[in-house]
């Protein structure tokens, strides 16, 4: 059994704070400071450029990728790190689209994160494709014989609704299409199994449930059957077959290495590597069970004590990731009032109070405090103060 009390102790959680926004930015692992100091003091400062070989900086993207692979149902040598999630989305969708040149449609849903849709819009314009966007519950019916790529975020960033990856991938394959899954709200939160779902491509960020720090690098996975055939439009020198030959003509590296683009962010990858230490010994089945336990308890508590809010997430835990949303007409002000009292969730327009439950460090006490604080704020209408309505910024 996973020792969640021990994993909680591995994070810096400020005293007096109940942190339910790890689906935006995970807290700092205690090991991150020492690891960052080491790469600065012992590697960069002393080794200078020789650190690429002596300290293993050059192979970091694959080594760290292998550690993430276990958390998403992938195998060794199938995941590589680097760049931002938007770049990885572009790489994956462009590679999948190129493998279906006789088809024009890229299908996504209106619950997808806007940045993914922006990337797909630009790509569709560049390659004469069509981005087709439907409601989340209409995706299954929209998969047809003209589909080239199904591009979905597994867990909806606003509602927490979870797509059935295996079923939708199977239907896409029957139609002759390929799939690209964004795991931004899945990796580290739910029991992802890319291999079991027979997915084609997947991408994800590492600063949410994987706790890699602000702007930590993204990852990309390609199913082994596509690894030596996929050719994304965005090609960089680190994805070249022989990057240090400085050949003016691009030749893709073998396998997942071709999905590298620019120089890897060594310091950020080092901190992420420290964050991944926490995952040693964590079973994904235990992770999922813990997530369901916390979110179910939170929903029950809020619905019992807070009649002024409405559930905005699927009630069935099988259809939900590790976050819960409730709607309130003054959602922004309510969330600001919560944050002022040390319960940190976030707000999504127009009226959603969003709470992310990270199984590694959230516990039953967090649930109880969040429910009690929300109930008191709503009962006393303490959210109805001028400072809580000033939307200069939104968390």
Provide the annotated active-site residues.
Answer: 113, 182, 207-208, 354
How far is the C-alpha of 143 from the C-alpha of 262, rounded, in Å?
35
The residues that bridge with 344 in the sheet, in sequence order, are 19
The residues that bridge with 179 in the sheet, in sequence order, are 150
Q: Which residues contact 28 (CB under 8 A, 6 or more apart)?
A: 11, 12, 211, 213
How far is the C-alpha of 239 from the C-alpha of 344, rounded, in Å?
40
**117: which 2 tokens?**
């849709």
The alpha helices in the chain, defined as continuous H runs, are 4-8, 31-38, 45-47, 51-54, 60-69, 85-98, 114-127, 139-142, 165-175, 194-197, 266-276, 284-305, 331-340, 364-380
Of the candidates 227, 204, 200, 221, which has an alpha carbon nearest to the alpha carbon of residue 84? 204
Number of helices (H), then strands (E), in the chain: 14, 13
């Amino acid at each position: 059994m996973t020792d969640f009390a021990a994993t909680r102790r591995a994070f810096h959680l400020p005293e007096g704070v109940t942190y339910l926004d790890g689906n935006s930015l995970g807290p700092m692992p205690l090991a991150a400071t020492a690891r960052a100091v080491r790469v600065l003091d012992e590697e960069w400062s002393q080794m200078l450029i020789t650190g690429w070989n002596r300290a293993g900086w050059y192979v970091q993207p694959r080594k760290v990728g292998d550690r993430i692979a276990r958390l998403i149902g992938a195998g060794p040598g199938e995941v590589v790190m680097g760049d931002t999630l938007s770049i990885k989305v572009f790489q994956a969708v462009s590679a999948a689209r190129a493998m279906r040149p006789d088809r024009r449609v890229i299908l996504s849903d209106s619950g997808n994160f806007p940045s993914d849709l922006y990337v797909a819009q630009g790509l569709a314009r560049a390659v004469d494709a069509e981005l087709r966007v439907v409601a989340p519950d209409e995706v299954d019916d929209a998969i047809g014989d003209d589909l080239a790529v199904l591009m979905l975020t597994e867990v909806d960033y606003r509602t927490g609704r979870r797509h059935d990856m295996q079923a939708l991938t199977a239907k896409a394959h029957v139609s002759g299409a390929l799939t690209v899954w964004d795991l931004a709200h899945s990796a580290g939160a739910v029991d992802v199994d890319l291999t079991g779902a027979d997915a084609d491509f997947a991408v994800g960020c590492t600063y949410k449930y994987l706790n890699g720090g602000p702007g930590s690098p993204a990852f990309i996975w390609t199913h082994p059957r596509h690894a030596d055939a996929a050719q994304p439009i965005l090609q960089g020198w680190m994805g070249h077959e022989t990057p240090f030959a400085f050949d003016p003509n691009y030749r893709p590296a073998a396998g997942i290495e071709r999905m590298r683009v620019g120089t890897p962010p060594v310091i950020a990858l080092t901190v992420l590597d420290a964050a991944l230490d926490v995952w040693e010994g964590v079973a994904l089945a235990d992770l999922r069970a813990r997530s369901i336990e916390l979110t179910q308890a939170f929903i029950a508590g809020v619905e019992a004590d807070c009649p002024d809010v409405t559930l905005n997430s699927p009630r069935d835990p099988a259809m939900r990731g590790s976050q819960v949303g409730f709607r309130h007409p003054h959602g922004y002000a309510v969330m600001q009032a919560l944050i002022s009292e040390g319960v940190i969730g976030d707000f999504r327009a127009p009226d959603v109070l969003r709470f992310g439950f990270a199984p590694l460090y959230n516990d039953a006490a967090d649930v109880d405090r969040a429910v009690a604080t929300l109930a008191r704020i709503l009962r006393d209408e303490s959210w109805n103060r001028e400072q809580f309505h000033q939307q200069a910024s939104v968390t």
